[in-house]
Amino acid sequence: MKVLIVEDALPLATVYGHQLSRAGIDTLHVETGQDAIDRLRKGGISVVLLDLQLPDMSGHDVLTLIGEEQLPVTVVVVTSSGSIKTAVEAMQAGAYDFLVKPVAEERLVTTTRNALERETLTEVVEEVRKPTTQKTNHGFVGSSLPMTAVYKMIESVARSNASVFITGESGTGKEVCAEAIHKSSPRVKKPFVPLNCAAIPKDLIESEIFGHVKGAFTGATSDRDGAAARADSGTLFLDEICELELNLQAKLLRFLQSGTVQKVGSDSLKKIDVRIVCATNRDPLEEVEAGRFREDLYYRLHVLPIGLPPLRARGADILELARHFLLQFGKEEQKAFEGFSVEAEEMLLGHSWPGNVREMQNTIRNLVVLNEGPIVETDMLSTLAGRVPNTARETVAVPRPVPESLNRSFGSESGVAGDWPNITLSLGQSYDTLERQLIEATIDACGGSLPKTARVLEVSPSTLYRKKEIWAAQEDEEAQSIETDDEASITHAVEN
């Protein structure tokens, strides 16, 4: 990713280029607006540092051409004019940020890095919007909308060498995500080396990352490579990165900037090539604000962020995961489990899963070991923390005729427990609208229970959850569109 400096004053351009190069940012320089447009049309430029006063055209003209030709770059305007009017005009023309000469080095580097990150995220978002040609879950189980976005993010970031920062609660699968990125990357045939920073004593963590030489400390009986050297040409995964002490964070930053490792007790440096993927269950920005995590290290690592959703936010994935683990552990324990009762499914869906997928694994393994199949009932789920199993069977009204299997599922022996409420569907509406009205009316009649609704409509519960997610996403888009229209109306009214 390169930065194009558009500046007719050669001394200033030289200073900007030198300061950005010291920060590890590649730059190119042109002196005129036409040269800038010609270079941008060739591609390969991510960010433009644009002077507004150019010899052949104004910076505003360059911004206009970039917008008209939809050139995929992020523009930061650099000018000696610091008026609010100039800033507003530049932002309205499409500029990302606005710097006033003279520009401090720290401000220049930080703004440029932010612009580079924004352009990277824009590219990733565009990739996520593209339909996938091949369905793969990268070792995960689940097909909810939040996880589908994660799968596309993995596919998008895997091709890059930029650092990936994975966040998510404990048990959401951060190491699975990191390994999936490695397996989908050009480094797949090279080592994937995971290191849990929270599981290693503080006085040994430096040695674990960088290695040591014989005699470096008590117990160092021979030379030993660290995780960074073992991951050479591959991927180094640093889990719970926020657990590192500040002095070790400084050494890690130096390693990231130089690409060299220095073993504990050694004076020599070794050049290595690794792709860094890190993860934490904390909010890294809160750690930075609290002074527990270096801000410069955060911006060095937080280039391609991936947030893993908690299990409670994944809808029908809860049941999909439960069935997956039930069959897996049932096979391992040689027990013939087939599925869950309606009440057991509701209990799974009603649990908050603070331990996420890891808690789900332990829960299902426990019930498989301690019980016999074929159907999991609520009394087998007594290990769910903070919940008392409800063994009462609830009766639901179903229309005539009722399949015998459905009667057994709902606990009704007589066939019909009552009459369905009547609803009116108006003709002339789209199929999707009529379908939604029918499904939502059935959900209401079933007391809000999606598993029971699925049995009545004879569809998969995951189908209903996906439809609800799609409807919610459509409502969010409509709400955002209304807000955008309102803002445009207010802006128009103010300008007039």
Q: What token pair was written down for 327?
A: 């069959």
Which CATH number is associated with domain 312-381? 1.10.8.60
**Which band of pLDDT confidence, cut at 50, 70 and 90, is reported for residue 99?**
confident
Between the two ends of the chain, the Cα-to-Cα distance in Å is: 42
Task: Provide the pLDDT for residue 391.
Answer: 34
Better-scored residue on pLDDT, 62 or 79: 62
- 131-309 sits in which CATH class? alpha beta
> Parallel, antiparallel, or unpaired for β 260-261 and 211-212?
unpaired
Q: What is the pTM of this model?
A: 0.56
- Of 490 and 2, the structure prediction assigns the larger pLDDT to 2
What is the per-residue pLDDT for 408?
38
**Is the Cβ–Cβ distance between 322 and 337 less than 8 Å?**
no
**Burial group, residue 85, by CB count within 10 angstroms (0-12, 13-18, 19+):** exposed
pLDDT at 84: 59
pLDDT higher than 70, residue 409: no
- Report the pLDDT averaged over residues 288-293: 92
Mean per-residue pLDDT of the chain: 81
Q: What is the C-alpha separation between 280 and 174, in angstroms, rounded?
A: 8
Task: Write the pLDDT tens digit of every residue in 214-233.
Answer: 887 877 788 889 999 999 99
**Are 415 and 407 a contacting pair, CB within 8 Å?**
yes
Residue 125's pLDDT band (boundaries 50, 70, 90)? low
40 CB-contact burial (10 Å; exposed 0-12 / middle 13-18 / buried 19+): buried
Predicted pLDDT of residue 104: 87
Q: How would you class 400 by CB atoms within 10 Å of its CB: exposed for 0-12, middle for 13-18, buried for 19 or more?
A: exposed
Higher pLDDT: 373 or 386? It is 373
28: Cα separation from own chain's centroid: 32
268-288 pLDDT tens trace = 889 999 999 999 999 998 999
Q: Are 145 and 128 in contact (CB under 8 A)?
A: no
Asked if residue 178 lies in contact with residue 316, where contact means CB atoms within 8 angstroms, the answer is: no
Q: What is the CA radius of gyration of the chain?
A: 29
Burial class from Cβ neighbours inside 10 Å (0-12, 13-18, 19+) for residue 30 reads buried
Q: What percentage of the chain reaches a pLDDT higher than 90?
A: 34
The Cα-based distances of 478 to 37, 125, 180, 214, 481 in angstroms read: 37, 20, 34, 65, 5
Average pLDDT over residues 191-197: 93
- Nearest Cα to 41, choosing from 74, 73, 86? 73
Question: 220: Cβ–Cβ under 8 A, 6 or more apart, which residues?
Answer: 207, 212, 213, 214, 264, 265
For residue 416, the model assigns a pLDDT of 35
Pairing verdict, β 164-167 and 275-280? parallel
Q: What tens digit of pLDDT does each residue of 413-435 get?
A: 333 344 567 677 666 677 777 78
Q: Using an 8 Å Cβ cutoff, are 206 and 251 in contact?
A: yes
Q: Which class is domain 2-112?
A: alpha beta
pLDDT of residue 172: 94
* Residues β-bridged to residue 192: 235
The more confident residue out of 371 and 494 is 371
**Are the C-beta atoms of residues 344 and 376 closer than 8 Å to each other?**
yes
Amino acid (1-letter code) at residue 307: G
* Predicted confidence (pLDDT) at residue 491 exceeds the cutoff of 70: no
What CA–CA distance (Å, rounded) separates 477 from 485?
12
Q: How confident is the model at residue 342 (pLDDT cuts 50, 70, 90)?
A: confident
In the structure, what pLDDT confidence band is assigned to residue 171 with cuts at 50, 70 and 90? very high
Range(s) within the chain of domains with CATH label 1.10.8.60: 312-381
Answer for the pair 367, 404: CB distance below 8 angstroms, yes or no: no
Highest mean pLDDT among 65-69, 130-134, 393-397: 65-69
pLDDT-derived band of residue 318, with 50, 70 and 90 as boundaries?
very high
pLDDT at 398 over 50: no
Tokens (6 digits) for 282 = 């904390």
Dihedral sign computed on CA atoms, order 180, 186, 189, 191: negative
Instruction: For the chain, give the percent of residues with pLDDT over 70.
Output: 83
How far apart are alpha carbons 405 and 411 in whole angstroms?
A: 10
Q: CATH 3.40.50.300 occupies which residues in the chain?
A: 131-309
Q: Letter for the amino acid at 417?
A: A
Q: Which of 84-88, 129-133, 286-290 has the lowest mean pLDDT?
A: 129-133
Q: What is the pLDDT of residue 365?
A: 93
What value does the mean pLDDT take over residues 173-196?
94
Residue 401 pLDDT > 50, yes or no?
no
Query: Tokens representing 178?
Result: 């990191």
Span 458-474, pLDDT tens digits: 776 767 777 887 887 77
